Every structure is written in structure tokens, then in C-alpha cells.
Chains A and B, each alone.
Chain A
Amino acid sequence: MSDQVITLEVLARTLRESAGSDEHGELSSEALDTGFDELGYDSLALLETAARLERDHGIELDDDAATSAKTPRELLELANSAR
């Protein structure tokens, strides 16, 4: 269990550590509602990111739910509701 809200900044870092990032930097707030497909993160990238969020924040995420998140906002909501 974790009291700390998982922010977009934390998610961006976790995505980068899990699945790499583009040369032009990390996700900005405008990317909150951009599709993961457009951002270049596939289902394995999301699976790896979800596993790292679980480890870092002591939460449990359902694999299917995590990989069906369409946008950073959906994944953040899923992760924060699991705290």
C-alpha cells in the first residue's frame, strides 16, 4: 500500500525505465489523453510498466486491465485506484 499519489511525472519515468523513450524527451501533460499506440507503447511495454509500478508502489494490478489502458490517464487512474 502506498499513500503517494502516482503522478504523470512518475508514470513517465516508469515508462522510460520499462520501455525506453523517444529522443525528444518524456511525456508532457498534453500526452495524458494521447493513445499509447500513438505514443509508441505496445501491450508488452504496458505489461512491463505495470509490473514496475506494482514493485515501486506496492500495488497489485490486473494484467488485462493494465494492458487495456488506452492512455496515460487511464493507466494512472487504474494505478491510483489500486493504492
Chain B
Amino acid sequence: MDLIRLNNITKTYHVGEMDVPVLKGVSLGIGRGDFVALTGASGSGKSTLMNILGCLDRPTSGEYWLDGEEVSRLSTDQRASVRNRKIGFVFQNFNLLPRTSAIDQVTMPLTYTHAHLSEKEGRERAKALLDRVGLGDRGHHQPSQLSGGQQQRVAIARALINSPPLLFADEPTGNLDSKTSREVLAMFRRLNEEERITIILVTHDANVANTAKRNVRMVDGLIESGAFDGVTDRGDTTRSGAGASGATAAPAPLVTGTAGTAGTAANAEVTSS
């Protein structure tokens, strides 16, 4: 079964007396472990679709199955719980809390989690995640003491604290220079490949979109291409095929990515010493 399945989703905004249809019947399937880039021109309904996929908004009509659950009709609080358990968010402008240490940033979503980790377990988990994103020694730094790329990596660690199956990244490289962008994208790839986390990357940058295994392109409220690539009801054979094709595309960026991270870590050590 797919992680995400949208059936004929529409979204209409009411602006004054006028009805403005933004999504005009979108159907989409995304399998587990997929890495999808959602692209489209400004005004194509890309952000609206992303909000609905991220359970931040409700569609006007249609069905949205997330991890075997129909979430399109849930109340605000129920959707908040779904977001907490199943979705991690990474934003363009990082959205870190000001004057708060990296550890506290990462543990913040645990405040609203029902799976009861103790304070200590939470902090240990946060430390492990910071280690994983290469910031193990920056746990007590505040956002103002971190570079843009480091801030975004803290944000990624935060998104992963509840081990969500789905990770949303809304223009994650929009505020980063090309080198750190490559590092962050490489991290996404690694998370996708090593932890089988499904990632949806919203971007308008073709280069960024190319990092993903699959490209869903939106035009004028409809999906122009890529709606069901590699995920059909036919089951496991095709999905493993998609995985294989991803793996073949993988090596080049992964190598540069790891090299890049190692490089920054070395640089950081030089500057700090």
C-alpha cells in the first residue's frame, strides 16, 4: 500500500464573492521510501497542495489517505496529532526558535507528543540526531551562533525527532548558498536511502528537483506529469524497480555530498581552534 494517495482533491478559496479554484482534482500516489520533488511555477497550486499533503489544510473535496488513514476530514486538533506523529517539516527560513539551544530546538516537538519519552531519553535522542546531521558538538549553540546550513540541519534533526515516515521540505535550499545546498540535499538523499524515510521536496529549482528520484510537476492546479510514477497498485515489483532506478542515479551526488560535509566539519574545526 502507498504511503500517500490523493483521489481527486480540489481546493477552492473564497475571495470575497468569488470562488477561486486552486486545485482542480489532483490525484497522486507516493510509495514508502520514495523521494519526490514537487515542482511548478508560482501560482500553480504547488503550495496549496503541499499544505494539504502536510495536513496543515483541508481539501474542499476529495480523499487523502495518509499511511492507511483518511485524513481529509479530520478536525484541526486531530490533524495536529497526525502532523506530530507522521510528518516532519523543514522550512525555507528554518523557523528555529530565537535564543534557544540546538538541543532544545530538536526536543521541542516532543512537548506535544503522546509517545512518552522521558526528558532524558528525549535529550539523548536529540543528541543522536544532531550527531547524525553532523552537529554533535553544537548542541548548546543558539541559532545566531550557527551558519545557515547548520541551522537548516538543526531543523532537519528537529523534523526527525518523532521518527516520522514522511518528511516535508519546503524550498529547503532557498536561503542557502549552492555549496551548503548540496550538503543539505545530500543529507536528504542519505535519509531517504538509509532510513527509507519518504521525502517530499517542494521546489521551483530544476537542479534541486533533480536530486529526487521522481518529479511531480504541477501546472495550473493539476498535476502535469509524474502523478503515479513507479507507484501503482501492482505492488512490490515496481516499487523495488523504482528503488533500483534511484540507486543507479544516486552515486554521484552522494559522493559530493559526503565530501562536502566532511569538508565543512574540517573547516569548522579549523575556525574553532
Partners in one complex: no
